[in-house]
Structure 1
Amino acid sequence: MSTTFRFIANPLGPSDVISWFKELPLPPTMVQTERGWNLHFHEFGSLVYSIDSTINPQKSPVVIIFLPRVVRGVLWTVGEVHFLSTPLKQQFPKLHRISTAFSKWLSAMPCVYSNNCKENEFAYYLEGSVQNQDTPVFAFESGYSALQSGRYFVADSDNEYRLDTICKTLALRGVPCADV
């Protein structure tokens, strides 16, 4: 099973997460995508391809990062970091150590939502499927400030239908979303 980390931060500012990976002693090869970055830790192994010529992320030393972004003008998505290799520790022990180090670094930030907590102070501002996932959500300073000022967050994976429903709810709270 892959390992996922979630975070909130201002999508318009520089990414602390990207900086963290760039500052590693053996930084990965980084390829920017429409929604974030794909990282290949070539020092730990080659990319493995599936029969259809796509990269097999479960057998390759890769990490996928979905950066926070603005949707519908007023919503920010929750950022995600996915260590996809499985089993990570057995296949790529050095990448597992990076995952562990990243976890320690990220967990030093305030946890703003977790299924393990009885009270989540900011749950009201986490819309869509953000609360339906097992992994906690940590906040960088910019994300924490946004929560305190009433910014709403959605999951990166929430589709247009889900966003329509969220925007209708937010309109009742006096928060108008931008048209698609």
Structure 2
Amino acid sequence: MWKQNQPHVELEATFVERVFVFLSIGIYSVWVGWLALIWGDIPAEVPGHFGINGEVTRWGSKFEVLTLPIIAGALGAFMLWLRKHPEWHNFPVNITEENAPFYYRLSRMMLTMTSFVIVAAFASINWNIIQVANGVKSFLDAWFFPVFLVAVFAPILYFFYQMFRYQSKNKA
């Protein structure tokens, strides 16, 4: 549901928020620069899919290597842009002038952390794809996907917990 009546509150980015935005942009920039630098050395065929145990189950064109940076760049940029407009976010609680700064900061930090995790994970997957294409053993074992899911959903669950905790404390 689009909540147009949520208050607009100008908030400065916290130090932690700025650090994770910097890290996200930095990792992405280094990743894309690295890809451009080694493009000529990437084999014509690269792993296109890995099984649960890290074995390559499909090979594809080296141009598939560009898929992850495009997706991570689009998602990361969108989330970093959207964090600047927390009044547009959909909250599971009622937002007022009094509680908006708290909820907006939580929502912004959740987007910042999620963006960071996606960029960092996709960069590491991309690096692994190129390493395997060059004959190095894959590090994408059975542990990687569960760790990735926990890394993505832990901040979301934590921030929802904080939202509901704040709401229950302030009801009285």
Structure-1-length-normalised TM-score: 0.28
RCO (CA 8 Å, sep 6+): is it higher in 1 or 2?
Answer: 2
Structure-2-length-normalised TM-score: 0.29
Structure with more strand by fraction = 1
Rg larger in structure: 2
Structure with more helix by fraction = 2
